[in-house]
Structure 1
């Protein structure tokens, strides 16, 4: 069973998390989005800003979601949403520890949810000052799966290039995109339910953003009727190129089962699944990220028969 993806949305106060979240809610194209809003304070301002646009919401006022450490933890909150939505976004408070929130999702015992990635929103205008006030920002960037440089319309090209260079070094290969007013395309984070299954991750039908600074990411589809070599594919996945944010689809290893592949940032998981009765046995993958000029060539090099012993490399990443 494929779980509901849970995306952790983090960033320091004023970075633009709620603006970005509201944009996702307005442009989700039929996707049912559940939100866990975590506002540190007695009056939940973020929840008030989001209310009315969301399909399902649970509010955690008066404390950080990373401090929900009782037995069950975040599972109890997520369980209230999973039956009604297609994706869940946890908007962490500006002083939350995003890695702790992501670890709660990754450690969830609820089979109806799965990790959807840690998104760190950065205010490029206040980036240098924020690093001084909150030196832990460097650590947050190191564990992020996707970094969103927001408010790029408020800095010149030289200033943006300087921030981009520092973030690229700190984020250690994470995908980085730039936005104005939090206008991040939802297709980078989750599948749009109104699309046919065969094209649910395609960007071909999106609005043309080619003249925008944030039009840096792309989607690559890969298919092969020949089996993939287990060791070569796992080597590619373990050392996946910088800028790759998501990989998902099904892999044909020449085995009786097909393998469902999910990659989000540094998270990698394979699941065994049955082939449909009339379903052709082939590998079908979609890769999303930035600067992926040679991804197809690298995947082509992974095509090839492997013996049963080579499957041990796959089993290391396969859920029992």
Structure 2
């Protein structure tokens, strides 16, 4: 069976937004997940790489230039593949503060390798300075417009009223992306590598990982990260309509950052394998695999922030319509995203 593709998450944001702080938080509180990190800085000395703690599962540094200008898709593909084969659960590209996010996303999507998959553009903003940044650098508005998840950092530096106005500004620029408000870059690692890793089983004496040692530090807030997220799930023995499922994945509910699952397509030639689906911001990846326990069923989950849970649940339920055998092209809406199979 083909191994699941490793998600590649692009972490971008204007200078000073707190990208390195977010990355260090992910590594400190990985909870057993293994992150590969690709760090890019603009300058002869990669200061960002020096600031990233040494606890990542693998790290590549791209110094003396902006990744979107000095790296081609083939070169990036090789770098990502070298990290993927090391057994990481997710790869995070920390872009320089002047990188062009759309160019980075295009590079990741063009780096065709079944071992990696696009995991979303996470765009970080400094809540206290967003409005002045937009006024001075309007291009940041374009960057926000293509984000799959917007992290509004440093919210402790603004009033409640100001934060509401800032979130409204972000929503005007990007009406569909979830907006996560955080302090000190405390983004849940599960958004980058959800379902992967987890605490290792305690099967006897062993050396603690750096992440576990850092988890003992009392100055990092714990236990509140999941409060900002909602998830909607669907479990059913019923099959899906592939046309409706593809539409759901390509146009996910407002506020959804990631959708994933295993689904049952009740059509000749498609019943013996489960379709494994992943979607981030409308980018869809589909694989075929054996049913894990031999039982055909449909299992879907959508994860996000600011989800209209009722609307998301209703949209998800719409996919549970048996496929119309006379709809010869219906299955093509799903299989056009097919990248792996067994």
TM-score normalised over the length of structure 2:
0.84
**Contact conserved, 1:10 with 1:120, CA < 8 A, in 2?**
yes
Equivalent position of 1:181 in the other structure: 184
Q: Does 1:292 align with 2:308?
A: yes
Match of residue 49 from structure 2: 47
Cα separation, partners in 2 of 1:102 and 1:222, compared to 1, 3 Å = same
Structure 2 residue 160 is matched with structure 1 residue 140: no
Unaligned runs of 5+ in 2: 201-221
1:208 Cα deviation from its structure 2 partner: 4.3
Deviations 1:201-239 (A, max 9, x none): xxxxxx642xx8x83321222111011122222333333
Partner of 2:283: 267
Tell me the residue number matched to 1:281: 296
**DSSP-derived class of the 1:263 partner:** strand
Write the distance in 1 (CA, Å) between the matches of 2:298 and 2:73.
40
Instruction: Write the distance in 1 (CA, Å) between the matches of 2:128 and 2:332.
Output: 48
Across the aligned residues of Structure 1 and Structure 2, the Cα RMSD in angstroms comes to 2.1
2:95 aligned with 1:92: yes
Structure 1 residue 132: deviation in Å? Answer: 2.1
Cα deviations by residue, 1:16-37 (Å, 9 ceiling, x for unpaired):
0000000000001111111111
Distance 1:3 1:314 in 2: 18
Aligned mate of 1:312, from 332, 337, 341 = 332
Partner SS state of residue 172, structure 1: coil
Cα distance in 2 between the residues matched to 1:80 and 1:240: 31
Deviations 1:142-177 (A, max 9, x none): 111100000001100111111100101111301110
Residue 5 (str. 1) matches residue 11 (str. 2) = no
CA deviation map 1:31-85 (0-9, x unaligned):
1111111011122111111142222111111101111344613112223312222
Q: Shift in Å at residue 188 of structure 1?
A: 1.8
Would the aligned equivalents of 1:120 and 1:148 in 2 still touch at CA under 8 Å?
yes
| Alpha carbons 1:68, 1:74 under 8 Å: kept | no
2:228 equivalent in structure 1: 216
The answer as to 2:255 corresponding to 1:243 is yes
Q: TM-score, normalised by structure 1?
A: 0.90
Offset at 1:316? 3.4
The alpha-carbon deviation at position 14 of structure 1 amounts to: 0.3
Partner of 2:163: 160
Q: Distance in 2 between matches of 1:283 and 1:68?
A: 43
Shift of 1:195: 6.1
Q: CA deviation at 1:92?
A: 0.3
Deviating more after overlay: 129-138 vs 174-183: 129-138
Report what 1:252 is aligned to: 264
CA distance in 2, matches of 1:132, 1:28: 36
Q: State the secondary structure of the residue aligned to 1:164.
A: helix
2:238 to 217, 226, 229: 226
Please say which of residues 125-134 and 215-224 is displaced more in the overlay: 215-224
Q: Determine if contact 1:150/1:178 at 8 Å carries over to the other structure.
A: yes
8 Å CA contact retained: 2:122, 2:151: yes
C-alpha separation between the residues in 1 aligned to 2:236 and 2:73?
44
CA distance 1:159–1:121, change in 2 (3 Å): same
Q: Deviations over 1:235-282 (max 9, x none)?
A: 333332210100111111113222110011221222222334x42100
Deviation, 1:116, is 0.8
